[in-house]
Amino acid sequence: MSRWSHKGVAPHGGVLVNRLVQADPREYAHLPALELCERGYADLELIATGVYSPLEGFLGEADYRGVVEHMRLANGLPWSLPITLSVPAGEARQYRGTVRLTRGGETVGLLEVVEQYRPDRREEALEVYRTADPAHPGVAALLAQGEVNLAGRVSLLRLPRGEFPEHHYTPLETRRIFHERGWGTVVAFQTRNPIHRAHEYLHKVALEHVDGLFLNPLVGATKPDDVPARVRMAAYGVLLERYYPKDRVLLGVYPAAMRYAGPREAVLHAISRKNYGCTHFIVGRDHAGVGSYYGPYDAQEIFGAFRPEEIGIQILKFEHTFYCRTCGSIVSPRTCPHDAAHHLVLSGTRVRELLRSGAPLPPEFTRPEVAEVLRTAYQEAQPA
């Protein structure tokens, strides 16, 4: 790990972390083992590969409190979500010194435990998620964690390429690709949903002003009713094949777990994309939201809490976009003079109803090829 000296946007904090090590997992068989959940394993990879630069491990208490209370690490650097590893209080004492991290019983990494502390879960919920309602999926996951946080540097013994190895890149790899393609400016787009025409509109508006698009869908843990990652990736594939310039788009997965923290998560998403080497990041309506816990543009407004140079990536703020039957195109409230009676707006619930019934999705809402991928997946998922 060293100060960034390559061409391109600097990583957050000026350091691109690399905690990947080449080692035989059998060397650590004598160490106490800590089994990681899906989110913990994702966080381990994101820390070790530099997506969460400048973090080198799970947060200690000073950084944790700074993030929860002020959205800053103890040194003042902006950071919006606490990246922590928790264990039950009754198990904490067995984790001292170096601990091997396991997933499915296999040793995948190491944690150098230097600190243990008890977080205030209620305060964390209220500050980070703006609610303590256990019906909120992020709050529910938080309340299910152990009572003690373990802090310290991590190492990753093997890079997991996951379910989509051909699209699974580290920040070092994306930065190299951007450089090889001559992309001086790159806009990133975060999604956990299949792309529809309004998304496509945002991409192409942005591509009028930058060199490349990094389509970076989240493929880690999501809610059970979210569209599965394999279905979304298939939809992205057919869309990019037929409707996007191949030399100006890179599809790469974001292996994070979804926290549904709305505004706070939007900031982390922006910082992560800066670490991948992007110069711009799209934030639309209700970014990373769930239910009605956040206002439609809270995720845009939160960036006003920081100076632009502190975040270090240009935020492209878009209003809600939709198809207007009278305009005959995708528009926004800024460009359309017609009222809601002229607009085609489908809720996620309505889209799922149409897919389950086998009814076609309107071509004004999504491309026919994408609709067919979704329809087939939903039909296959229905009980016989």
Q: What is the pLDDT of residue 2?
A: 44
Amino acid at 172: L
Alpha-carbon distance 103 to 40, whole Å?
9
DSSP strands (E only) in the chain: 33-35, 57-58, 85-87, 97-103, 106-113, 115-117, 148-156, 186-191, 212-217, 249-251, 280-283, 314-317, 322-324, 329-331, 343-344
Residues in the chain with pLDDT values less than 50? 2-6
Q: What is the pLDDT of residue 349?
A: 72
DSSP strands (E only) in 245-360: 249-251, 280-283, 314-317, 322-324, 329-331, 343-344
For the annotated catalytic residues, the residue numbers are 192-193
The number of C-alpha atoms within 13 Å of 374 and in the hemisphere containing its C-beta is 29
Whole-model pTM over 0.85: yes
Q: What is the pLDDT of residue 1?
A: 52
Q: What is the pLDDT of residue 4?
A: 47
Query: 131 Cβ partners below 8 Å, 6+ apart?
Result: 125, 139, 293
Q: Angle at Cα 351 formed by Cα 350 and Cα 356, nearest 5°?
A: 100
Give the 3-state secondary structure percentages of the chain, helix then strand then coil, rounded to 5.
Answer: 40, 20, 45
Q: What is the pLDDT of residue 6?
A: 47
Alpha-carbon distance 247 to 255, whole Å?
24
Alpha-carbon distance 243 to 232, whole Å?
16
Please tell me whether residue 170 adopts helix, strand or coil conformation: coil
Q: What is the pLDDT of residue 94?
A: 96
Domains of the chain: 12-156 (3.10.400.10), 165-381 (3.40.50.620)
Q: What is the pLDDT of residue 384?
A: 57
Q: What is the pLDDT of residue 7?
A: 58
Q: What is the pLDDT of residue 5?
A: 41
